[in-house]
Every structure is written in C-alpha cells, then in structure tokens.
Amino acid sequence: MKTKIKPIALKLHLKDEQQEKYQTARRAHWNWVARWKDTHRGLGGAYHRRLEEIYGFIIPKGQKVLEIGCGNGQLLASLKPSYAVGLDFSEEMISGAKETYPNLTFITADAHDFLIQEKFDFIILSDLVNDLWDVQTVISRIAEVCTPRTRIIINTYSHLWELPLRAAQSMKLMTPTLSQNWLTVNDIRGLLNLCDFETIHHWEEVLCPLPIPFLQSLLNRFAVKVWPFRWFAMTNFIVARPKPYNHTEKLLVSVIVPVRNEAGNIPMILKRTPEMGKGTELVFVEGHSTDNTRDAITKAIKAQPERRALLFQQLGSGKGDAVRLGFEKANGDILMILDGDMTVPPEELPRFYDALVSGKGEFINGVRLVYPMEKEAMRFLNLLGNKGFSLAFTWLLGQPIKDTLCGTKVLWRRDYERISNNRSYFGEFDPFGDFDLLFGAAKLNLKICELPIRYRQRCYGSTNISRWTHGWLLLRMVCFAALRIKFV
C-alpha cells in the first residue's frame, strides 16, 4: 500500500521567523544525533526497551500505526504492525530507519506541516511533545488521520527528571536533547481537549532507566504503580480518543437475558423491555433451572409473537458462560445484558442505548451504588464487597469504576468480538462475566462510561450468588488481573 503524503499549504500553518530558527536548530541536532548514535549503540537502551514493552502491551499486533517523531524506527518496528508509517523531520534519522526496516514506510516531514491520506488505528507521539514548537498545531493535524475509534498514545518525560536527564546526557548515557517544553499531564490533556480529543486515562511509568538486574524489573513493573513511588516516575503516558459523535443510523439491539429459576419474571421481561433503535431482540439463555423457567419462556414467546425473541439452553454453568452463549447467538449491532431477576428494570435500557450511540462511552456499565436501594435489594456484606471491588478496579483499570458487578452492561458487537478474541490473555474462570468484560474493555482502551440506576429488590426467587465462595473467587481474579493489567 503506497502512502500518499503532501505538505500542507503555508496558509494553513504560517511559520514565523522564530519558529523557523527553532525547527532548523532541532533538525540539525537530530541529524547529528543520528550520526552520533552510529558510534554509541546501546546507550539508553534499557529505557527504550521498557517503552517497547509498554507500547507492545497497549497496541495489539497487526494494527495500522502512525508514529510522529519516529526517529530510527525501532519502536514502530517492535509493534509488529500490519501497516505502519513513521514520520520525522530528520533526514538522517529517516534514512537510517528505511535502511534498517525496509518493510515499513518512513517519511521525512515536519510534524507541524504534514498531511497523510490514510487513517490509522493507533497514533504514537513518544518523547516528542516536549520538543515541539507548537503542540496544539501538531495534535490538530492528527485529527485528519483518525477514525472515531483511533487511539492516540503520548508519553513524555516528567519535569522532575530534568536535572537527572541533563546529568545522564552530559555523561553520554542517553541521547542528548535541546531545551524542552516540560509539559505536565494536565497541560497535554488541555491541549488534547482544545483539538477535540478526549483523554481516556493516564499513568506513570519507569523509575529505573538503567539495566540493573532484578531492581529494574521491581521498580518499573511494581513500585512505579503504587503510591508514593509513582510520583517520581520518569515518563507519563496518556491514551486519548477523538471526541465522540452521535450515531444517527438506527441499529438492531440484542438484549441477552441469562435466567435460572426465574419463571415468575419471564412474562414481564417480554412485556416491559422497550423497543430500541432498529428493533430489540431478546435472547434468553436458560441455565438448568429447577423450576419451570424454560417452559415459561416458551409460553411467553408464543403469547407475544410481535416480540423478536430467541431461547437457548446453556450447556455450561455460571452467568458468564450464559452471557457468552447469548452474545454468540445474538444478531444485534449493540449487545446488552439484562439480569433475569429484574433488579434492574428493563425500562432503564434506553438510557444505556443513548449513552452508547451518542459516544459518551464505548462500554456502558450500570452502577447500583449511587441512588438509595430498595430495602433488601442488596445485603450489607455484599454492599461492602462491591465497594471494595470498585476501589480495586478503579486503581487497576485507570478509569473510574464504581460498581463492578452490576449485571447491566452494554457495548458494541464489534468490541465484544475483540474482547472475545483476546480472552485467552485473562483466562475464562469468571463465573459472572462482569470482570471478563471489564478487563477486556480496559485492555482495548475502550472508554468506560458509568450509568447510575435504581436497584430494586427481587419480586421472585432468590439470588444464585454464594457470597463467600464467589467473593473469594472474585478476589483471586482481582489479584490475577493486577499481574495482567497493572504490573506489566
């Protein structure tokens, strides 16, 4: 695939004399660095290898990736993209990158003045924004190569490291730089907002940039993720997306209803679930009930032939297994989960639909812990457990998660398919399916949006949850996820 690129007309970005001098000096500097590094290979390598690990965790293999300020192309090549473009204004850096990685596309161009007629899944600005003349102009250019689902990843040095970095550069332990902007995370978030980008989350990385066995891994994988050590991190990471737009197209909605011993609720589920979008499909998954739930579903479907409804028998066990079967059999573009106990009323679902199609979030998570609950809706110890898990998840995922176990969750089918394809990374031992979906959404850097609902008490049957057995299992899952998401 040939990349089409042309410089933007000067009337779109008029450079003043000071900017010309600034850019000329930096271009000469990075051309010199390209030659200098030829005789100083490996210096600063530990820091850059750690960056490759972090970016490799964020960006799955086989993506379309653009790196602005790609330097020698090493980071871009390490990501194993299906298609990649590296852009840098240093002719010598680009020359070396083309020679080293002939399978990738490299372009000599100024980050302030470029136009690539392609769209990318991920756009990287690694240790670049502190070196730019006009960060806002560069970010505004990025918008032209984004789809609504593109993710922008920025990492930049912390100002706390200014003096240590100067010392390391003077001793030729790392690549020398010219004077820097030293933007804070809030500075960058503000600039992203001005250019119509929304920050999904940000975090700190790298305490030890030196290749010291054991200590390097201990500090960079674990210590930097916890207070107070994270305040002393060397680099800040930010993941952002284009600000959302409203989907005007009417789409088919599939509501997955896992049911076990819920016979008394079935007629009301069919009666009360609203029609949304292009239409609503109810997908019942019956999980080995000991009452007449299956017969109740069959009878209710026949009694309301105007409703689009399907019934499947669960082969495995647990709500998570039932939800996965329902998602597999569903035909909708939008997938919803509605618990068969109706503790979340079906009438709430259009609010979830609106939040998703308006782009407020890409994964809409119900929250039961905002409004007061009906008496007996949740036992006290369950409430404490939910609050504890919410704190753990907010820390783990880097996005506010107030309620992890609310059964009502809504997402796009295309995103669920990506979560499903990546499920082996976390395993399949979540009996409820809530953690499975939240972990998967966070790993894909989806924007998680929480939607408060009023939680009702059951009108029929009793809970299928064993508070101690399942609580212990969920705690083990949190610990496991910490190693797979947080401490990587």
**What confidence tens digit (pLDDT) does each residue in 82-127 have?**
999 999 999 999 999 999 999 999 999 999 988 898 999 999 999 9
Query: Can you give the pLDDT at residue 376?
Result: 52
Cβ–Cβ < 8 Å for 330, 300: no
Same domain, 170 and 36: yes
Last residue of a domain, one of 242, 260, 292: 242
Any idea what the CATH number is for the domain that residue 404 is in?
3.90.550.10
**What integer pLDDT is reported at residue 184 of this predicted model?**
95
If DSSP codes are grouped into helix, strand and coil, which group holds residue 479?
Answer: helix
The whole-angstrom separation of Cα 268 and Cα 284 is 13
Q: Which two tokens stand for residue 364?
A: 């809409």
pLDDT on residue 479: 81
Strand order in the sheet with 363-367: 308-313, 279-286, 252-259, 334-337, 409-412, 363-367, 448-452
Residues 44 and 125 in one domain: yes
My answer on whether 367 and 440 are in the same domain is yes
Looking at the fold, whether 187 and 85 belong to one and the same domain comes out as yes
Task: Please count the CA atoms within 13 angstroms of the CA of 121 that sit on its side-chain side.
Answer: 16
Residue 261 sits in the same domain as residue 324: yes
| 4 occurs within a structural domain | no
CATH code of the domain covering residue 211: 3.40.50.150
Confidence at residue 8, expressed as pLDDT on a 0 to 100 scale: 41
| Same domain, residue pair 223 and 294 | no
Task: Verify that 354 and 218 share a domain, yes or no.
Answer: no
Q: For residues 239-268, give the mean pLDDT.
A: 92
With respect to residue 7, please indicate whether it lies within any of the assigned structural domains.
no
Chain segment 26-52, per-residue pLDDT in tens: 999 999 988 876 544 444 688 999 999
* Residue 385: pLDDT band with limits 50, 70, 90: low
266 shares its domain with 230: no
Looking at residue 472, its pLDDT comes to 72
Number of structural domains in the chain: 2
pLDDT at site 482: 81
Residues 96 and 200 in one domain: yes
Q: Is 86 a member of any domain?
A: yes
pLDDT digits (tens, 9 = 90+) for 208-250: 988 888 999 999 999 999 989 999 999 999 999 999 888 888 8
Q: Are residues 195 and 258 in the same domain?
A: no
Q: Which of the listed residues 178, 208, 242 is the one where a domain comes to its end? A: 242
Q: Is there a domain that residue 12 lies in? A: no
pTM (2 d.p.): 0.88
Radius of gyration of the chain (CA): 26
| Percent of residues, the chain, with pLDDT higher than 70 | 88
Instruction: Name the residue range of residue 256's domain.
Output: 252-486
Q: Is the pLDDT of residue 271 over 50?
A: yes
Report the distance separating Cα 284 and Cα 322, nearest Å: 9
pLDDT of residue 368: 82
Q: Of 242, 265, 283, at which residue does a domain stop?
A: 242
Structure tokens at 353: 């639909």
CA distances from 78 to 55, 70, 81, 125 (A): 9, 12, 8, 15
Do 208 and 323 fall into the same domain? Answer: no
Confidence of residue 380 (pLDDT cuts 50, 70, 90): low
Q: Are residues 147 and 257 in the same domain?
A: no
Specify the pLDDT at position 394.
82
Residue 10 within any structural domain of the chain: no
**Three-state DSSP class for 65?**
strand
| 145 within a domain of the structure (yes/no) | yes
Q: Is 11 inside any structural domain? A: no
Average of per-residue pLDDT across 303-321: 92
**In the 8-state DSSP scheme, what is residue 161?**
G
Q: Over the stretch 150-209, which tens digit does the pLDDT of each residue have? A: 999 999 999 999 898 888 888 877 788 888 999 999 999 999 999 999 999 999 999 998
Residue 8 lies in a domain: no
* Nearest by Cα to 125 from 76, 166, 184, 180: 76
